Amino acid sequence: MLTVYRPTPLETWVIDFYGRLGIVEPEDLDEAEIARVLHIYLFYKEVPSQAYENGRFKSITIDKRLPVAKQRERFYHELCHILRHSGRQFMMPEAFRELQERDARNFTRYAALPLHMLKCFDFREPYIIDLLSERFKVTPELCEERMRKIQNNILSERRMA
């Protein structure tokens, strides 16, 4: 199914990024280890999730009141802000903030369910969403969204062929 899939530039960026970190299997997707390798302090507190960067100091705080799968998704979202964005969102124009948030949502899908790890799954399996959710430790909603985006990409590629 993924033979006609064309990855987006951001998706290719995530695949290359994971390749540099040696992340090849779903079990390698460990927030604490990713943060450690990138020299990012990772905190779990009862506050809204956020990324913070000041000079060389970088931190991600995850709201520990969230379900574990949502915590993981928030980690990827905040990681995107550190890796790809600059500036304080509360000080930037709304359109620019919306652009960063859209990028972080896309990054979350790609980082949580990386293309190079999805290639070994049979998407025709009746319980594929549950399987992906369990294997990648994210919400079924994120898995459904990822599968829908993949299907739309494939349909678009087939129309263009």
**What is the block-wise mean pLDDT of the chain (161 residues), using blocks of 10 residues?**
83 95 96 97 97 93 98 97 72 72 93 94 93 98 95 81 61
User: How many Å apart are CA 107 and CA 81, to the nearest integer?
Assistant: 10
pLDDT of residue 3: 74
> What is the pLDDT, as a whole number, of residue 93?
66
- Identify which of 125, 160, 128 has the alpha carbon closest to the alpha carbon of residue 146: 128
Q: What is the pLDDT of residue 159?
A: 75
Identify the pLDDT of residue 161. Answer: 61
Q: 47: phi > 0 → left, psi -120 to 50 → alpha, else beta; which? A: beta
Bridge partners, 58 (sequence order): 53
CA distance linking residue 33 with residue 91, whole number of Å: 31
CA–CA gap between residue 56 and residue 10 (Å, rounded): 24
If we measure between CA atoms, which residue out of 39, 35, 37, 21 comes closest to residue 71? 35
The residues near 47 (Cβ < 8 Å, ≥ 6 apart) are: 61, 63
92's tokens: 């930037």
Measure the CA–CA gap between 120 and 50, rounded to whole angstroms. 33
CA distances in angstroms from 67 to 49, 54, 60, 74, 108, listed in the order given: 13, 29, 17, 11, 16
